[in-house]
């Protein structure tokens, strides 16, 4: 039994013309595939807007030479440990670092984490990308990412020891 549902759409000729140009330029194999992506894109935006559970990634670049920056970044990430799945650190060149932080949790909490990181002096760029994970769950929230609403309760009570081992071997000389 197919789970596909087919329906017809009436569109103005100019609109379908513009859409077909879009489908071609974006290298979609069919209008249907392009429409599916547009629907998911809209549903992700709505989910974020309504503070639903989401999964995604923060992509950040920074100059690690800035005073205490590495330490501050690490501290903030520990404050939000409940919505961080993993981090990948790349040393782009002598000065610049690229960090990709995989996140999962309430949209507002992830945006809050992003704003704290972004505001630090030395962070040159931070972008958030939310995936479409869970957007097809019709109950709106539970089937997707787990809820991590307790993360904030931990935040200011977290003592960060300077000699703390973070479990990865990140060092700069
Ligand atoms: Ni680095």
- Domains of the chain by residue range: 12-49, 52-173
Mean pLDDT, range 12-38, rounded to an integer = 97
**To 5 degrees, how large is the angle CA 150–CA 151–CA 155?**
125
Q: What does the DSSP assignment read for 5-23?
A: --------HHHHHHHHHHH
Kindly report the CATH number that applies to the domain delimited by 12-49.
Answer: 1.10.1220
Ligand 1 centroid distance, CA of 94 (Å): 8
Ligand 1 centroid distance, CA of 130 (Å): 24
pLDDT at 148: 42
Ligand 1 centroid distance, CA of 91 (Å): 4
Burial 71-93 (b: 16+ CB within 10 A, else e): ebbebbbbbbebbbeebeeeeee
Residue 71 and residue 122: Cα distance in Å, rounded? 12
3-state secondary structure at position 104: strand
Mean pLDDT, range 76-84, rounded to an integer = 97
**In terms of Cα–Cα distance, which of 140, 139, 67, 148 is closest to 112?**
148
CB atoms within 10 A of CB 128: 20
Ligand 1 centroid distance, CA of 83 (Å): 22
pLDDT at 151: 41
Kindly report the CATH number that applies to the domain delimited by 52-173.
Answer: 3.30.70.1150
Ligand 1 centroid distance, CA of 84 (Å): 19
Ligand 1 centroid distance, CA of 74 (Å): 13
- Where helices occur in the chain by DSSP H, the ranges are 13-25, 31-49, 69-79, 107-118, 151-155
Ligand 1 centroid distance, CA of 155 (Å): 25
Query: pLDDT tier at 135 (50, 70, 90 boundaries)?
Result: confident
Ligand 1 centroid distance, CA of 10 (Å): 53
Query: pLDDT tier at 137 (50, 70, 90 boundaries)?
Result: confident
**pTM summary value:** 0.75
3-state secondary structure at position 30: coil
Mean pLDDT, range 112-124, rounded to an integer = 96
Mean pLDDT, range 88-95, rounded to an integer = 96
Query: pLDDT tier at 14 (50, 70, 90 boundaries)?
Result: very high
pLDDT at 109: 97
pLDDT at 138: 73
Ligand 1 centroid distance, CA of 73 (Å): 12
Predicted confidence (pLDDT) at residue 172 exceeds the cutoff of 50: no
Q: Are 57 and 129 in contact (CB under 8 A)?
A: yes
Ligand 1 centroid distance, CA of 53 (Å): 30
* Residue-wise pLDDT tens digits, 39-72: 999 999 999 999 999 999 999 999 998 889 999 9
């Amino acid at each position: 039994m197919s789970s596909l549902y087919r329906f017809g759409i009436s569109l103005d000729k100019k609109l379908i013309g513009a859409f077909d140009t879009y489908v071609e330029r974006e290298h979609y194999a069919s209008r249907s595939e392009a429409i599916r992506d547009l629907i998911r894109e809209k549903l992700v935006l709505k989910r974020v807007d309504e503070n639903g559970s989401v999964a995604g990634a923060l992509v950040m670049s920074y100059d690690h030479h800035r005073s205490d920056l590495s330490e501050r970044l690490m501290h903030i990430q520990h404050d939000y440990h409940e919505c961080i799945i993993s981090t990948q650190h790349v040393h782009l060149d002598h000065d610049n670092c690229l960090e990709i932080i995989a996140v999962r949790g309430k949209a507002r909490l992830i945006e809050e984490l992003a704003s704290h990181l972004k505001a630090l002096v030395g962070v040159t760029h931070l972008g958030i990308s939310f995936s479409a994970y869970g957007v097809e769950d019709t109950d709106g929230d539970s089937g997707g990412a787990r809820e991590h609403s307790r993360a904030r309760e931990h935040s200011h009570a977290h003592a960060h020891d300077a000699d703390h081992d973070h479990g990865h071997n990140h060092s700069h000389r």
